[in-house]
Structure 1
Amino acid sequence: MPFIIFIDFDYFYAQVEEIMNPAIKDKPVVVCVYSGRTENSGAVATSNYLARSIGIKSGMPLPQAMKIGKDRAVFIPIRKDFYKEFSDRVMNTISTYSDKIEIASIDEAYIDVTEECSTFQKAVELGKEIKEAIFREHGMKASLGISINKVIAKILGDMAKPDGIKYIDEFQVDGFLNNLEVKKIPGVGTVLSTKLKDAGIVYIKDILNRDPRAMIDILGNAKYTYLVEIAENRYNKPVEERIRKNFGRYITLPENTRDKFIIMPIVRKAVDSAYGKAPGIPGEISAIGIMEDLDIVSRSITGGRINKNSAYEIAESLMEKILDSDQRKLRRIGIRIGKITSNESLDDFFGT
């Protein structure tokens, strides 16, 4: 019987901002995507629970959110590169507990701990240990769900928010499914759940008592099969590592500095590491600078097949541009490569 742990970083973007600036953690925090059309045009990317409690939600137009949060909320521009780098660190911690990890998004992951745990209770104990490690090492609160498959684990993780943990073993699953509303199942959105409700389907078990042809008309073959497998407790899609589109390496400098004689050799080391992970030759390369105040500045170039020898020069040039455009000292540097195509020969890879 598989033991699956689902991990969800609570209100991730906003929580990262709270971690980096503890002075705002007791305030409504709103992470914003500015459109650039006007000073305040854009939308809310996410918000912490305090902001949600006063009515500021994801997707809300910024002018409306600012009206609600006037003199109360903290509005922060989104910093995607920084959140990705923070997520990578937390995911690295999680990956030390199992080789079978599926990173579902920047703030969600599944791990299969069947080989690590001889009983379900040991899986629960391990889940608690992982949750504590995430908070201890990164200050990040997470919600966990633990069960026998990915779907039930995710539903439990959603139910455990915020900062909780819920679990159901194999002996409790049937009872759980008997009372599970179909709208809580991953992949069943608002529109589809409304159609199912109109057809008399409120609980997942209801689907087993309906004409399959009628259900397929509403759901389509794939989703009908998916829901029937869940209802009959036959769903068993394994935890699978996602195919990575980007490969990179971040390295902390010995000290905060702008000294190129210190920085550039580490840039080359990061290039070596990134190319060592990639299964082919990239068509895109980015240099990332994490500044002394933890802000992130990046520069990228796209085009052609960039062999490793060329990448050294390109990466150094991109880092030069970061240093020329910003007077702050660097704390960490990163190199990320993407748009990978397969190697044709070692000469292609190394540029010889």
Structure 2
Amino acid sequence: MAERGMQLLFLVDATGKKNHRLKRVLNRDAFPKELTNKKRFMSERAQRKSNSHKLNEIPEAVILQLGKRSDRDLSVECGISAYFLKQKRLALGIDQFKRGVYPEEMVQLLGKVTDREVGEQFGYHIATVCALRKKMGIASTVKPATTPTQTPNAKKREIVKLPQELVSQLGVRSDQDLSTEFGFTLHYLKKERKARGISSVNVPKYPEEMLSLLGKVADRDLVARFGYSSTTLSILRKKLGIKRHHKVWTAERIALLGKIKDSEVAALLGGAFTKGSVGQCRRSLGIPICRGPRNGAPTALFLSLSRGLTSGKMEALPSAQPGETGQLTQFPLVPGSEANSFQA
């Protein structure tokens, strides 16, 4: 059968080329002559293979579980093939295990011992035992709970009384300072302070000088001077109810419109206004544009004002609030900016 059991023959046509069709030829001499079907031969061959000696070797404890549990579950537990367990069960005339049918001994124990003990004794999962007990309306058996005093390792929360010196300083000093000095956690001090109805101390977070300048100068000047972000200053200003510093067009600033280019006006004002905002204000007032020299050079007035600003002989253009046109108002300037006098 090994040599002639299967032969693959190529059909050669008249031209001598091999055909891709294959003809399967079975060597029937390898099988008994009375058998003409390979499947019949294989099935009878499997039946002739005796396993009776293995059926006799199945332990008695496993035999007692036949029919009470599925053959597959017993096979996984005891390591014996499910096929041999089935053959042994059929030889003993034991019916097949049916789902939902439980041993009478196990049902009698429901509610008398814990579900875990029942499951371990009969080989069922604790969830299966619990579901069966609830379905039958049987109350569970709960072991008496141990009190905390019976548990040797139970941790009890120690109630620590705060020193009178510490209590007198709650709300007067910050919780962080008291925590560092007296050795209590910050969370514990906050809890004790709130339990006594004491509000926290207001620790100044921002410099007083910066707080006094909010709304009087632009936020970006304070950002460059004190190092806080513009978002932080905006939130702080809104929290304190201070309006933002508005850009004001004074009479002196308006006098520059149309005499020099819009970009030059924006440069003289130190960046308080952009070229676009300068042009928008000029157009709203009906002032014609100053185009300057054709070669793009700066205007003579701008050069004169710039030289005067650099030498320090030119007075700062006033920065007034609405209704205060022409009034000179000077604020602390940001170091290193020559044109801060023009900023809004």
Question: Normalised by the shorter chain, which TM-score bucket?
Answer: under 0.3
Greater gyration radius? 2
State the TM-score, normalized to the length of structure 2: 0.19
The one of the two structures with greater contact order (alpha-carbon pairs below 8 A, sep at least 6) is 1
